[in-house]
Structure 1
Amino acid sequence: MIGDKPIDQITGEDMLDFRNWWVERLEVEKLTPNSANKDLIHLGDVLKTVNRMKRLGTVLPLRDLALKDIEAKTRPPFSREWITGKLLAPGALNGLNAEARTILLVMINTGCRPSELAALSGNTIHLEADVPYISIEPEGRQMKSAYARRTIPLRGVSLDAIRAYPEGFPRYRGSSAGLSATVNKYLRENELMETSDHVLYSLRHSFEDRMLAAGIDDRVRRDLFGHRLTREKYGEGASLKQKQAMLQAAAL
């Protein structure tokens, strides 16, 4: 997740990035917080042992990392009506910093994970193509799985928003740890969460619901989401132009 670093250069942001990676993995793989907590405990034991035995005297950023059961539950999707009537209402997101606001808007019609959008760069944002799209690539980071590498057409508010950031989001590229927290805090404080169980990640669930309502084939939905196909995979799948046409009814 972070790459090789000297032990005394591991930061709180690094640990939060690793923790956030686990939060998303719990939902994708239907795991319990116990899986993440054991990993965090073992990693912490390694770091503390080296720190002690080598007499480094380093203050390790290992506090308050354990996950709670609530962080593993499936989040409800935002309804189409809530997104269009609340989140996309004029001025509703003006108080959110510009990069976080743009990532939220791009997430609406792509269903990407926040960390995937934070990692975008000029090499993976393709606005001049016949079909504008983003590509999720292992550029400077480790992919969540072999299936996460994919291309997604840009439509509607997502295409309009990302035009202001053709080179990506430098504020969050090095560390996406604070992105979800920033957005969730803003949405809650401004009564823009549909329920108390909703979070930024709920936009990913909403995108899948809208694709399902639009009758988009399961193979295409899985390819757009970066999910494993539950049968043998044949062919290259839908082209960008085909995906763009299919997403017409799902885009906002």
Structure 2
Amino acid sequence: MAVMLRGATWNLRKRVPVRYGEVEPRREIWLSLHTDSRAEAEAKAPAIWRAQIEAWEARLAGASEDAERRFQAAQDLAAKRGFSWLPLKDVTRLPREELLERIEAIPAHGQVPNRQEAAAILGAVSAPEITVSRALDLYWGFTRDRVTDKSPDQLRRWRNPRIKAVRNLITLIGDKPIPAISGDDMLAFRAWWLDRIDDEGLSANSANKDLIHLGDVLKTVNKMKRLGLVLPLSDLSLKEGKARPRLPFSSAWIRDHLLAPGALDGLNDQARAIFLVMINTGARPSELAALSAQTIHLHATTPYITIEGENRQLKSANAERRIPLLGVSLEALRAFPGGFDRYRTNSATLSATVNKFLRNNDLKETDGHTMYGLRHAFEDRMLAAHIDERIRRDLMGHALGRVRYGQGGSMADVANRLAPISF
């Protein structure tokens, strides 16, 4: 390599390769080797040239339209100049001496600073908007060291829970960019898990595993991509062995607030109808979301619905049952005789939609009340009305604790018993 003496300092003089013409306006460059010793200069020259090539490569990547490549290139350029990557807001808070050091390190040609290098060193390149699904793709690459000794089966068992956790979140809130994930989103995800615990007999441990895997994916990508985000992932875990109790809505609250004229107008039609059907049936949200023309019997002498395993698995054998329709529940279902296509295969978002609406419209009796409280309110009203235990357990889909003899009463008889406690 050609080293030349300029004044008292040896320099490396090289033509700029054609490949880098897009990001380097000079035809040849002089790189100071910071020594007055020719032998030392010749020893240092190859490493200095390699560093310059890498800097040009980073500039080329930074010229890309790909936001992730551009951001990574900015981080690499900053590192090549001896600085850790910091976003602009943090750079502006540096002590004056450190800020000047960064400014003085920006290469210039004809006293015009290189824009890409300036943006990299001063942190003026925006972080890419990485979505939740993209975060999972990146996560596999960032965690290669964790799986080097795993067998194919171990790798599958390691990956699947993380895939499931990410898929669950996307099902609920959509494939959002990571910076757009809010505290409300994560609380909705937690509430969705509480509903599943009640609906499907799952444990708090299942929910906590999802939260742990999801947190690992998002935190790893946030760290390795140096996004600098404050993720809303704290204080979400459920107490092992005991989920938060579901608080029943009082009859007065249902009558005076939930069923007040116009109170539910802001809900989409299907969510509102399911909410109203739940009031007088006590059925689980997921059970109502799965109703179809075959399980809604509006033209029977006593209108009713059947909860059955139609293309889905029920919580238990006891969950298969018939429930009469009365009052607001019957009227709501008349508008949807074929069921609820919006939620039939995507019931995960139902509770989150309703609970957010209740919260935003001051319709929660207390902070602890959720949509699921309608189910427990229905059971409480049956208890207060001294309705027979067999009928109560049949309607709720609970085990009886003994052999069930007979049909448990006709639809007309059950409807007559429920009429005084229905709205």
TM tier, shorter chain?
0.7 to 0.9
**Residue aligned with 2:322, SS:** strand
Match of 1:147 in 2: 318
Shift of 1:237: 1.1
2:204 matches 1:33 = yes
Give the secondary structure class of the aligned counterpart of 2:306.
Answer: strand
1:92 to 232, 256, 263: 263
Which residue number in structure 1 is paired with residue 239 of structure 2?
69
Letter of the 1:190 counterpart = N
Query: Which of 359, 366, 373 pairs up with 1:195?
Result: 366
Q: What secondary structure does 2:331 align onto?
A: helix
Q: Give the structure 2 partner of residue 115 of structure 1.
A: 286
Equivalent residue for 1:179? Answer: 350
Q: CA deviation at 1:91?
A: 0.4
Moved over 6 A (4+): 7-10, 28-31
Give the Cα–Cα distance (whole angstroms) in 2 for the partners of residues 157 and 231 of structure 1.
34
Which structure's residues are more often helix, by fraction? 2
- In the alignment, is residue 215 of structure 1 matched against residue 386 of structure 2? yes
Unpaired runs of at least 5, structure 2: 1-159, 173-189, 218-232
1:140 Cα deviation from its structure 2 partner? 1.0
The 3 A distance-change label for structure 1 pair 216 and 165 is same
Contact 1:76/1:198 (8 A) holds in 2: yes
1:177, 1:233 → 2: CA distance? 33
Instruction: Verify the 8 A CA contact 1:14 1:175 in the aligned structure 2.
Output: no
Q: Does residue 1:136 correspond to 2:313, yes or no? A: no
Q: TM-score, with normalisation over the residues of structure 2?
A: 0.49
How far apart are residue 37 of structure 1 and its match? 3.7
Deviations 1:140-187 (A, max 9, x none): 111110000000000011001110000000000011011000000001
Q: Does 1:83 align with 2:254?
A: yes
2:359, 2:348 → 1: CA distance? 18
Displacement of 1:28: 6.7
Quick check: 1:246 aligned with 2:417? yes
- What do you get for the CA RMSD once the two structures are aligned? 3.2
Q: CA deviation at 1:27?
A: 3.8
Contact 2:192 2:352 in 1 (8 A): no
- 2:374, 2:394 → 1: CA distance? 17
Q: Greater Rg, structure 1 or structure 2?
A: 2
8 A contact 1:13–1:177 mirrored in 2 = no
Shift of 1:235: 1.9
Q: Is the 8 A contact 2:306 2:322 kept in 1?
A: yes
Select the structure with the greater relative contact order (CA < 8 A; seq sep ≥ 6): 1
Residues of 1 paired with 2:244 and 2:314: CA distance?
A: 23
CA distance in 2, matches of 1:35, 1:13: 14
Paired with 1:137 and 1:169, the residues of 2 have a C-alpha distance of 15
Partners of 1:174 and 1:213 in 2: CA distance: 36
